[in-house]
């Protein structure tokens, strides 16, 4: 009887097969870690304004585009009539774990382009992309702007419409203010900076024309009722602090009526020629025994 010899070639083949299997598993694992998958959308609520800092309506016929760095339009929308809280456009940014030609990734910065009905386009500040299923707010201006940085050590930077600067230059000369416009100064001494007056639509050369609380009352439901003079086309909010010693001002939710939903800001009128007195209701800070308020133009 002859004994069958074990084939060495057979052993080699089995090892080769095992090695190939290990390589295949390794490749599958590697591929799985690089899979790109959708993670939702990021919603951007925005306000587009003109050179007078007034909120634009649909009649402006402007399209807003969010564009990736490779030039692909990821999201686009038209300016609409402003909502009661002053927002006039919504951009829904599709997200994926890694940016593609049609999606962004959390933390990306998208170029923003404004396209007018005439076909003219204007690039504005980039749009930062936030977390999936979250909402962020931005304010854009359909104008050429000039930036100023404060010299008080805070390095605060603000942007003023060039058309506004051109319009105010003769007024500065008439009132005896030489040099360039200074948004951090207070030309009329009303305790509102020129920049605050620019945002509020008030006269920086008239100390009686300023954004201020005209009346206050606390209704029975504990909402703080604040009345003020508004300028049409502008949006307003309220900041609060619990102490005037080293105050920490924070935006407080507001309502246009006692039964209204809460908003971050309100727009009393979209008519830019409208002026009047409005009352908004401020939600009390949680656990506060006393509060201090200030009006802000957004």
CATH at 88? 2.60.40
**What is the Cα–Cα distance from 185 to 206, expressed in whole angstroms?**
14
**What is the Cα–Cα distance from 237 to 240, expressed in whole angstroms?**
10
pLDDT score of 54 more than 90: yes
**What is the Cα–Cα distance from 106 to 38, expressed in whole angstroms?**
11
Q: In the predicted model, what is the mean pLDDT of residues 215-235?
A: 90
Q: Is residue 290 in some structural domain?
A: yes
Pair (201, 256) in one structural domain: no
pLDDT score of 2 more than 50: no
Does this model's pTM top 0.85? My answer is no
pLDDT score of 16 more than 60: no
Identify the band that residue 20 occupies on the pLDDT scale cut at 50, 70 and 90.
very low
Q: Is residue 133 in some structural domain?
A: yes
Q: Is residue 98 in some structural domain?
A: yes
How far is CA 27 from each of CA 74, 97, 195, 283, rounded to the nearest angstrom? 32, 20, 59, 57
Q: Is residue 16 in some structural domain?
A: no
Q: In the predicted model, what is the mean pLDDT of residues 276-297?
A: 87
User: What does pLDDT average to over the chain?
Assistant: 87
Identify the band that residue 52 occupies on the pLDDT scale cut at 50, 70 and 90.
very high
> Residue 171's pLDDT is what?
94
Pair (196, 288) in one structural domain: no
Q: Which of 141, 160, 178 is the last residue of a domain?
A: 141
Pair (203, 123) in one structural domain: no
Q: Is residue 23 in some structural domain?
A: no
Instruction: Determine the structural domain holding residue 65 and report its residue range.
Output: 38-141
Count of structural domains within the chain: 3
> Residue 29's pLDDT is what?
47
> Residue 90's pLDDT is what?
97
Pair (54, 128) in one structural domain: yes
Pair (200, 236) in one structural domain: no
How far is CA 185 from each of CA 116, 144, 149, 191, 210, rounded to the nearest angstrom? 34, 22, 12, 10, 14
Q: How far apart are the first and last CA of the chain?
A: 101
Q: Which of 157, 179, 210 is the last residue of a domain?
A: 210
> Residue 286's pLDDT is what?
76
Collapse the DSSP code of 32 into the 3-class scheme (helix H, G, I; strand E, B; otherwise coil) and give the result. Answer: helix
pLDDT score of 5 more than 50: no
> Residue 22's pLDDT is what?
43
Pair (174, 245) in one structural domain: no
Pair (228, 281) in one structural domain: yes
> Residue 69's pLDDT is what?
85
**What is the Cα–Cα distance from 169 to 172, expressed in whole angstroms?**
5
Q: Which of 183, 210, 237 is the last residue of a domain?
A: 210
> Residue 152's pLDDT is what?
85
pLDDT score of 242 more than 70: yes
pLDDT score of 127 more than 80: yes
Pair (97, 152) in one structural domain: no
User: What is the per-residue pLDDT across 64-82, written as a single tens digit (0 to 9) for each?
Assistant: 999 998 899 999 999 999 9
Q: Is residue 228 in some structural domain?
A: yes
Pair (160, 204) in one structural domain: yes
Q: Is residue 25 in some structural domain?
A: no
Strand pairing class (109-116; 121-128): antiparallel
**What is the Cα–Cα distance from 30 to 47, expressed in whole angstroms?**
44
> Residue 283's pLDDT is what?
86
pLDDT score of 199 more than 50: yes
User: What is the per-residue pLDDT across 138-154, written as a single tens digit (0 to 9) for each?
Assistant: 999 999 899 999 988 88
Q: Is residue 66 in some structural domain?
A: yes
């Amino acid at each position: 009887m002859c004994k069958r010899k074990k084939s060495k070639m057979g052993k080699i083949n089995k090892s080769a097969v095992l090695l190939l299997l290990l390589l295949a598993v390794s490749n599958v694992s590697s591929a799985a870690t690089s899979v790109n998958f959708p993670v939702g959308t990021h919603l951007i609520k925005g306000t587009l304004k003109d050179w007078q800092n007034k909120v634009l309506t649909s009649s402006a016929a402007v399209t807003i585009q969010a564009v990736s760095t490779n030039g692909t339009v990821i999201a686009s929308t038209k300016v609409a009539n402003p909502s009661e809280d002053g927002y006039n456009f919504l951009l829904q940014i599709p997200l994926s774990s890694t940016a593609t030609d049609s999606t962004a990734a959390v933390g990306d910065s998208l170029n923003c382009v404004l396209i007018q009905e005439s076909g003219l386009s204007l690039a504005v500040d980039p749009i930062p992309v936030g977390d999936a299923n979250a909402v962020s707010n931005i304010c854009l201006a359909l104008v050429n702007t000039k930036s100023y940085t404060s010299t008080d050590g805070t390095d605060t930077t603000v942007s003023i419409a060039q058309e506004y600067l051109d319009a105010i230059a003769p007024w500065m000369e008439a009132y005896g203010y030489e040099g360039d416009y200074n948004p951090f100064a207070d030309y009329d001494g009303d305790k509102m900076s020129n920049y605050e007056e620019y945002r509020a639509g008030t006269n920086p050369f008239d100390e009686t024309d300023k954004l201020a609380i005209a009346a206050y009352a606390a209704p029975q439901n504990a909402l703080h009722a604040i009345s003020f003079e508004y300028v049409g086309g502008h949006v307003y909010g309220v900041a609060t602090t619990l102490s005037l010693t080293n105050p920490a001002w924070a935006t407080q939710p507001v309502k246009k009526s006692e039964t209204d939903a809460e908003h971050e800001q309100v727009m009393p009128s979209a008519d830019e020629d409208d002026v009047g007195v409005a009352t908004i209701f401020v939600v009390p800070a949680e656990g506060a025994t006393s509060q201090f308020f200030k009006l802000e133009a957004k």
